[in-house]
Amino acid sequence: MTYCVVLVAFLLSCFSFTSTDAYDPSDPYGNITIKTDVLSSTPDGYVAVVTIYNFQQHRRIEAPGWNLGWTWSKKEVIWSMVGGETMVSEECFRFNSSNPPQSCTKHPRFVDLSPSAPYNQQIADCCKGGVLSAWGEDAANAVSSFQITVGAAGTTNRTVRMPKNYTFFAPGPGGYTCGPAKIVRQTKLVTPDLRRLYRAMMTWNVTCMYSAFLGYKDSSGSIALAPGPDPGTRSAPNLAPIATVTDSLSPAPLPSSFSSCSPSFSLLSFFLVSVFLCSLQSVM
């Protein structure tokens, strides 16, 4: 009899306690993947391209667009950006120069540029006003990129430190939960003259999952409550002035950390049979 009680309790837990913090049953494999490619080193840091992929099948990112943030691991600063901008440009008091970094905040937030941005401030897949199509409807317009020059940071793949505590916000109901950054195989690159292939110094990915039960925080700070992948090959325009990214990602299966104990037909049948057998045992 004790066995029956334990079995029934376990099966009920699968029906009752599902993970809704970062799971969308209508698109279980959809996600936002954020890929960072470290392209080259600088005297005090590195140059990287951050690419956002909307791998959701039918959920678009509408205006006013996406909003990406993270926390620096140490005391990194942002010298300059192309294809995007920081929402808050904190003054850099520790730099006594006429040309200080663009941002020294520990928790930078980034937004896309508008399509009318000057040409010398654009790179491939940028400047869409933060609007992204769904991968299942228009994959070519489901990608957004910006280039960033980081200072006070490592200069090799052994000393560069990945940011942490990634956040991704988008307009509309629901919200996103982002996992930790994970180092993956370096992206293949081609020089601007298209004559030489090489790999990025370092590449890491972050996966963010949608949930209808999370809130969206807009740029004013108010919250509206709502009711790893293998690189492939995709042609792209030049990432001026550094290089062209030839690798892209493909939608990845739902990570185990975001999986849900959802009841299936076979589990339901097993549950009913177990209850019936336990009832017979109690009668006997």
User: Could you please report the per-residue DSSP string of 142-177?
Assistant: SEEEEEEEEESS-SSTTT----EEEEEE-SSS-EEE
Q: Return the higher-pLDDT residue of 27 and 40.
A: 40
Instruction: Look up residue 169 and give its amino acid.
Output: F
Largest Cα–Cα distance in the chain? 89
- Kindly report, residue by residue over 211-238, the tens digit of the pLDDT: 887 654 444 444 433 333 333 333 333 3
What is the distance of C-alpha 232 from the center of its chain?
Answer: 18
Predicted local confidence at residue 195, as pLDDT: 86
Using a 10 angstrom Cβ sphere, with 0-12 exposed, 13-18 middle and 19 or more buried, the burial of residue 95 is: middle
- Nearest 5°: the CA angle 22, 26, 31 is 45
**Residue pLDDT, tens place only, 61-86:** 999 999 999 999 999 999 999 999 99
> What's the predicted TM-score (pTM) here?
0.72
